[in-house]
């Protein structure tokens, strides 16, 4: 007889958190954790290998953020549905997660065991799962996008960091960006590290996607 349990991948850089989630889920025989990842890149690799039904993913992880993991799973392992479990409760994080393809979003400091299991069930069944507080934040974030505000997270960057982001998204090297802006390559590297940290995006592809989503490359003036 085939195993009909919901197969789950856990992605969180804290081993104790993963252990707690595993215990909560596997208290119910309906669930089985098939793999655990301590960083974003490992999460994608393990998802490709194990093809889980649901991936429970943190946002802030080494290697690749939960946003990147979610987006990559949508293209690489489309049958795996993503449930975000995060400490971040602001509208921009919720909105970015949903835009990346997440089916649900729970807050670590609010979700109880039964709610986590309900969320996994709902996401596995093809539904969405958001608490009322998270749904309110999502609505606020979507209203901001509809009203033409900058992409979530863009407002945390300085003008110079935006310049550097535009150069990175345009495919320019640090040396080329430095020459264009009239600053040193080391200064470009510093700005680049700062914007990656603020946006929690660690790859050029992720930065490019973020810049395109935010309309940063839409103007007619070439970089």
- Residues 130-158 have pLDDT tens digits of 887 787 767 665 555 444 444 556 777 88
* pLDDT > 90? residue 209: no
Q: pTM to 2 decimals? A: 0.65
Say which residue, 175 or 99, is predicted with more confidence: 175
Report the CATH fold assignment for 6-146.
Rossmann fold (3.40.50)
pLDDT in tens, 44-76: 999 999 999 999 999 988 888 898 899 899 888
Residue ranges of the domains in the chain?
6-146, 154-213
Contact 137, 89 (CB under 8 A): yes
Average pLDDT over residues 3-14: 93
pLDDT at residue 221 above 80?
no
Question: What is 154-213's CATH number?
Answer: 1.10.10.10
């Amino acid at each position: 007889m085939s195993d009909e349990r919901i197969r789950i991948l856990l992605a969180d850089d804290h081993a104790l958190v993963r252990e707690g989630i595993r215990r909560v889920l596997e208290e119910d025989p309906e669930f089985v954790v098939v793999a655990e990842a301590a960083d974003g890149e490992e999460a994608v690799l393990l998802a490709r290998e194990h093809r889980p039904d649901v991936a429970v993913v943190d946002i802030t992880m080494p290697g690749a953020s939960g946003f990147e993991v979610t987006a990559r799973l949508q293209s690489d392992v489309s049958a795996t549905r993503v449930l975000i479990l995060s400490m971040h409760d602001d509208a921009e994080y919720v909105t970015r997660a949903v835009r990346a393809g997440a089916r649900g979003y729970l807050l670590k400091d609010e979700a109880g065991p039964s709610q986590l299991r309900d969320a996994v069930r709902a996401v596995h069944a093809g539904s969405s799962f958001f608490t009322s507080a998270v749904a309110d934040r999502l609505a606020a974030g979507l209203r901001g996008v509809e009203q033409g505000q900058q992409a979530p997270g863009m407002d945390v960057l300085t003008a110079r960091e935006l310049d550097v982001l535009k150069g990175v998204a345009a495919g320019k090297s640090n040396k080329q960006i430095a020459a264009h802006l009239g600053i040193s390559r080391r200064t470009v590297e510093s700005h680049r590290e700062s914007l990656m940290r603020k946006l929690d995006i660690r790859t050029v592809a992720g930065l490019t996607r973020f810049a395109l989503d935010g309309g940063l490359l839409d103007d007619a003036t070439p970089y």
